[in-house]
Amino acid sequence: MSLLFETFSIGELTLQNRFVRSPTTSYWSDEEGILRDPILEYYKKLAKGGIGLIIKGHSYISEKGKAHNCQSGLSSEKHIPRMKELTDIVHSYDSKIIAQLNHAGGVGVNDRATASKYVTEKWEARELSLDEIEEIVEKFSSAAENAITAGFDGIQIHGAHGYLNSQFMSDIVNQRQDKYGGSIENRSRLLMDIYDSIRKKIGSNVIIGVKLNCDDFAEEKGLTINDSIQIAKILKKRKLDFLEISGGGPEQVLQIRKTRGRALEGSGYEEATWGGHAKKIRDAVPGISLALVDGIRTRKTMDNLLSQNIVDLISMSKPFINEPNFVKLLEKGQEKASCIDCRKCISRDNFAKTMLRCFHKYP
């Protein structure tokens, strides 16, 4: 039997298989960040499709950290009842679900603030004070407590994709001269402070993961694979439960993103966009549970990633947008996702503006 369909344990949480639905925002919350009915039905389809672990699309930890309109929130007790409905639905199909917590930082819609003053052609972000950083850390732990109260099986801290933690870790954005700037140990200090605060709040038995860039894929500077390895080592010492490897930070270049992290041709998993970087992390930091996302579409690649011990979990998003029952289809013999990577679902015209769906299939 393929490892894909074997159980896997992260801490005290046992998954029915090795599939992870990577967190993707859905837009479908009201102006207060409270879930609306269609998104509950959406997650029901995912859970019914047999995914072992669902990571819910990011929820803001404070109004100041909101990434886009109609993003879900976990900043307040008012968010808990509908989130509890969501977790109950997912659990009724024997899937597990964890909450991804995020602060948008300089790309937020309510308060553009980040590690240092940062100017782009379209907007400018101010520098956060030490008091504001301390408040953000506390907001993360409070949101984590709300998530566990709502029935989530764990927490994932968003440390990728050019949001606040990613901004702090990037020396493109972070020019601070205090304990949060300079070395990679200092630039990742915010992430570690958030992790420590959440762990203290929710205890040692609840799993905590981090979504981490393996590379910012910028032309110059930015987080590199060597930086990511150092961060992974620090997180392992803190007994992080799992790491989801992703990529793409401030000033990423698409062509670099497509090529720099790939494994060599003939590896058996070169289809995975960052399979080469994932192997470097695995080799340098053994013993930490790894999930890998992006570019994975074929059963062959999935099997090779697991059998060669590159990662422990196969994380996908777009294939599940198109086929929420993709796991069951694979189990029945389907060899690849029907997703054609048209990327309409995450285009600027649609992403975080309308209900998440396959726009090629349902225009």
- Domains annotated for the chain, with CATH where assigned, are 3-346 (3.20.20.70)
pLDDT value of residue 349: 79
Sequence letter at residue 115: A
Q: What's the token pair of residue 207?
A: 């799993």
pLDDT value of residue 362: 66
pLDDT value of residue 363: 65
Report the 3 state secondary structure along the chain: CCHHHCCEEECCEEECCCEEECCCCCCCECCCCCECHHHHHHHHHHHHCCCCEEEEEEEECCHHHCCCCCCEECCCHHHHHHHHHHHHHHHCCCCEEEEEEECCHHHCCCCCEECCCEECCCCEEEECCHHHHHHHHHHHHHHHHHHHHCCCCEEEEEECCCCHHHHHHCCCCCCCCCCCCCCHHHHCHHHHHHHHHHHHHHCCCCEEEEEEECCCCECCCCCCHHHHHHHHHHHHHCCCCEEEEECCCCCECHHHHHHCCCCCCCCCCCCCCCHHHHHHHHHHCCCCEEEECCCCCEHHHHHHHHHCCCCCEEEECHHHHHCCCHHHHHHCCCCECCCCCCCHHHCCCCCCCCCCCCCCCCC
Q: Would you say 180 and 157 are in contact if contact means Cβ atoms under 8 Å apart?
A: no
pLDDT value of residue 342: 80
Would you write out the chain's pLDDT as a tens digit for each of its 363 residues? 699 999 999 999 999 999 999 999 888 899 999 999 999 999 999 999 999 999 999 999 999 999 999 999 999 999 999 999 999 999 999 999 999 999 999 999 999 999 999 999 999 999 999 999 999 999 999 999 999 999 999 999 999 999 999 999 999 999 999 999 999 999 999 999 999 999 999 999 999 999 999 999 999 999 999 999 999 999 999 999 999 999 999 999 999 999 999 999 999 999 999 999 999 999 999 999 999 999 999 999 999 999 999 999 999 999 999 999 999 999 999 999 998 888 787 777 776 677 778 877 766
| Residues noted as catalytic | 163
pLDDT value of residue 26: 85
pLDDT value of residue 304: 98
